[in-house]
Structures are given as structure tokens and as C-alpha cells.
């Protein structure tokens, strides 16, 4: 299979459990940007099992603890792109855990609403 997440080099893995793993994003939005990825290959969140969701969000919690200690961010965005229309570029589910810092953008209000820039401010 020609999937970058299925063929991931183990030395890039920061955290792991039976059903998923976490690694730093190769194109980080901010320092500490992590991806949480299931070991099973499937493209979107709605194809995951309840057990996989629990395991993946357990990794999100554990990853946040690491990022809190290592990077001391003031906030986080947690996001999942599902489908090309939503910006998904790797068709293997992955959850973005993005540390946020005061001043990293001029006006952070609206957060994830910024995926449609004209709708971010309200």
C-alpha cells in the first residue's frame, strides 16, 4: 500500500497504543503540532470503531500532556479533515493536535471557523 501513514518509520513515533500512534507533523502549523493516527488504514473518522475512537482520543490526551510540558502552549486546536472538500490530503484518518500561542495569529477568535476565512469573525 502506498500510504505514508501505513509505511511510517517507527523512529518518528512519539506515543503509541494498541490501535494508534502519534508523531510530529512534517509540515507543522505551530511548534509541537502532532498527528494522532490509527494503525488500521481507513480514510475518515466516521469509519472508525468506538474502540478506535477511544484509543485515538486517549492518545490525544496523552499527547497534550507531553506538549504542555515541552512547549507550554496557551491553547489548542483539535481537528480532523474529512474528504478533499474539507482539505484532507492524506486519505488515512489523522487527528491534528495543534498547540496555540498568544500572538501566533493576529485575531484567533473563531478558531476552527477559520477553515472558511470569511466566516471566522462573527
Domains and CATH numbers, the chain: 10-103 (3.30.428.10)
| Grid cell locating 85 | 472538500
Q: What does the pLDDT average to over 88-94?
A: 97
20-72: pLDDT as tens digits: 999 999 999 999 999 999 999 999 999 999 999 999 999 999 999 999 999 99
- The answer to whether 94 is a known catalytic residue is yes
Judge whether 32 and 67 are in contact, CB under 8 Å. Answer: yes
pTM for the predicted model, two decimal places: 0.95
From 33, 41, 92, 94, the catalytic residue: 94
Phi-psi map region of 72: left, alpha, beta (phi>0 left; psi -120 to 50 alpha): left
- CA-nearest of 14, 48, 38 to 90 is 38
Q: Are 15 and 62 in contact (CB under 8 A)?
A: yes
SS3 67: helix
Amino acid at each position: 500500500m502506498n500510504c505514508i501513514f501505513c509505511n511510517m518509520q517507527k523512529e518518528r513515533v512519539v506515543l503509541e497504543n494498541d490501535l494508534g500512534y502519534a508523531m510530529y507533523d512534517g509540515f507543522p502549523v505551530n511548534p509541537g503540532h502532532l498527528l494522532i493516527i490509527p494503525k488500521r488504514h481507513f480514510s475518515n473518522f466516521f469509519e472508525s470503531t468506538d474502540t478506535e475512537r477511544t484509543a485515538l482520543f486517549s492518545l490525544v490526551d496523552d499527547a497534550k500532556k507531553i506538549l504542555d510540558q515541552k512547549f507550554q502552549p496557551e491553547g489548542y486546536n483539535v481537528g480532523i479533515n474529512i474528504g478533499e472538500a474539507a482539505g484532507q490530503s492524506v486519505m488515512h484518518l489523522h487527528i491534528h493536535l495543534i498547540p496555540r500561542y498568544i500572538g501566533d495569529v493576529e485575531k484567533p477568535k473563531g478558531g476552527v471557523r477559520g477553515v472558511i476565512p470569511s466566516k471566522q469573525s462573527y
